[in-house]
Amino acid sequence: MGTKIMSVGLKGLEGYRVKVEVQAMEGINTITIVGLPDASVKESKERITAAFHSLGYRLFHKKVIINLSPPEQKKNGPLFDLPIAIGILISMQDILVDISDDTGFLGALSLDGGVEPVGGMLPAVLAARKLGLRKLYLPYDENIPSIDIKDLQLIYVSSLLDVIKHLSGESIPTIYPLMNSIEEQQNNFSDFHEIIGHQDAKHALEIAAAGGHHLLLSGPPGCGKSMLAESFPSIFPPLTKENWLEVLSIYQLNGMPYVNSMYPPYRNPHHTASGISIVGGGQNPRPGEISLSHHGVLFLDELAEFPKKTLEMLRQPLETGTVTISRVKSTITYPALFTLIGATNTCPCGHHGSTSHYCTCTPKQINAYQNRISGPIQDRFDIHLALHSINMTAKINEVRETSETVRKRVVMAREMQWNRYGIEICNSRVPYEILLRTSPLADNMRQFIKDFSLRNQWSNRREVKVIRLARTIADLNGQKKIDIENIIEASQLNERLSVQ
């Protein structure tokens, strides 16, 4: 008797339906799995055999063939243990139930018949909803928070016996996932109130956070570049539930806990990190730092010290918000929608342009150092800030805003953008034609931008970046239209501006 059971396979974060076809027939006692299974899938037959033995089921004189469809797609991980086991039991008529095509099964089996969670459970659950499944049997995982998914019933089980009982109409103990009090947790980022001086720089960070603009900081050692970058996530709005589940899914695929609760991720890889660790990949592809920064901040300190090849690999993700990893056997796409902050010295010794230290570098050395960051990469940054050390004694009594105060303005600006565009997207990434259609420029503004662009010899890309920045500045000011002051401020931020 042939049986078909539904499950979910993963290709990166994208899920696809896996039809587990089971045929039991007379013959030598064997289990054969086909459909491009990897080693962990092939080993499931041993786990299933041991689990059946523990529960009193036998496979005497049965040859069982299992086909994981679609057969051309490579199958990874032990998530298919549970659907294979259910399919075998139905095929051998040990249980007599009808299972519809909108019911799926996920989970690995232990040798005593328990159902265990494995890596990638959350993205598989989210994929099941998109694939149209209505009911999903899965193991309880304390690392997955309570999820209320519309049109998808989650049935948590602890053993294969629980699944059999529930399919047969018997009641089983109800398992409730832990309700994480995520909103009550506090972020661990530095607060703007702790930063003395740098008022213009903090205003530029506010603009970057409101519009999702990339930002490059340059200046001598100790002027506050790292401190400003580390405080940047503190003015970001909390993640929406949908975005938080996406971030949590990426971290689960990488086998890492996500510790920032509902706050945006913040990643700060060292400049000695390999290109694969930054972008993602490997023999068994995994998300890299840019995907772990999804919906958050990626801070690259000592940007000029990163290998040039690694920096060039960032060009596609910065433009598209995704990274595509191509291998001989498959191509995987991971999300990588992040805000990039780069920090660099101005020369090898770091003191070029400093008012307190003498630079010992030759013009040739300075030029070679600055050219480590290619022109196309520098063009990806919307805001360029040249920082100098400040007199802390003179600034100690200044009035400083907290991150909470700044974050409220950022939230209001982002809500204006989402309402204007009808989707959750910021000024830095919305298609340019949509930006102009929803925020049309007056004739005098168009002429002013045209003259300003010709006078300063702007490229088309820079002109677009200035308009996007101006739109964000206008949003922070609560303006419906861009004015000349917004354009002038945006053009200054897009230059290498010396700020205190």
* Tens-digit pLDDT profile for residues 255-276: 888 776 788 999 999 999 999 9
DSSP summary character for residue 439: S
Per-residue pLDDT at 443: 85
Across the chain, mean pLDDT equals 88
Lowest mean pLDDT among 34-38, 155-159, 330-334: 330-334
pLDDT above 70 for 219: yes
Residue 136, pLDDT score: 94
Q: Which residues contact 58 (CB under 8 A, 6 or more apart)?
A: 52
**What percentage of residues in the chain have a pLDDT greater than 90?**
57
Question: How high is the pLDDT of residue 229?
Answer: 94
Dihedral sign of CA atoms 428, 231, 290, 302 in order: positive
User: In this model, does residue 490 exceed pLDDT 60?
Assistant: yes
pLDDT score for 183 = 45
- Is the model's pLDDT at 14 over the cut of 70? yes
| Under 8 Å between Cβ of 347 and 361 | yes
Cα 24 to Cα 3: distance, rounded to the nearest angstrom? 9
Please name the residue ranges forming H helices in 151-211. Answer: 160-167, 199-211
Does the structure show a pLDDT above 60 at 242? yes
Q: Is the predicted pLDDT of residue 366 greater than 80, yes or no? A: yes
Residue 312, pLDDT above cutoff 70: yes
Average pLDDT score over residue span 271-291: 90
How many CA atoms within 13 Å lie on the side-chain side of 122? 25
| Contacts within 8 Å (CB) and 24+ apart, 55-60 | 55/113, 55/160, 55/161, 57/89, 57/94, 59/29, 59/31, 59/88, 59/92, 60/29
The answer to whether the predicted template modeling score (pTM) of the entire model surpasses 0.75 is yes
SS3 label, residue 298: strand
My answer on whether omega of the bond before 348 falls inside 30° of 0, hence cis, is no
498 pLDDT higher than 60: no
Structure tokens at 203: 């205003």
| Residue 46: per-residue pLDDT | 93
- Cα separation, 28 vs 224, in Å, equals 72
Mean pLDDT of 361-389: 90
Q: Does the pLDDT of residue 463 top 60, yes or no? A: yes
Question: Can you tell me the mean pLDDT for 198-208?
Answer: 93
pLDDT score of 495? 83
Residue 290 has pLDDT above 60, yes or no: yes
User: What is 192-499's CATH topology?
Assistant: Rossmann fold (3.40.50)
Q: In the chain, which residues fall in CATH 3.40.50.300?
A: 192-499
Q: What is the pLDDT of residue 223?
A: 86
Architecture of the domain whose range is 2-167: 2-Layer Sandwich (3.30)
Pinpoint the residues of the chain covered by CATH 3.30.230.10: 2-167
Dihedral sign (CA 311, 313, 315, 319): negative
Parallel/antiparallel/unpaired status of strands 331-335 and 322-326: antiparallel
Nearest-angstrom CA–CA distance, 317 and 338: 9
Q: What's the pLDDT score for residue 375? A: 87
Give the residue with greater pLDDT, 407 vs 147: 407
Residue type present at position 321: G
Instruction: Considering only residues 172 and 465, tell me which one the structure prediction assigns the higher pLDDT.
Output: 465
Q: What is the mean pLDDT of residues 465-492?
A: 93
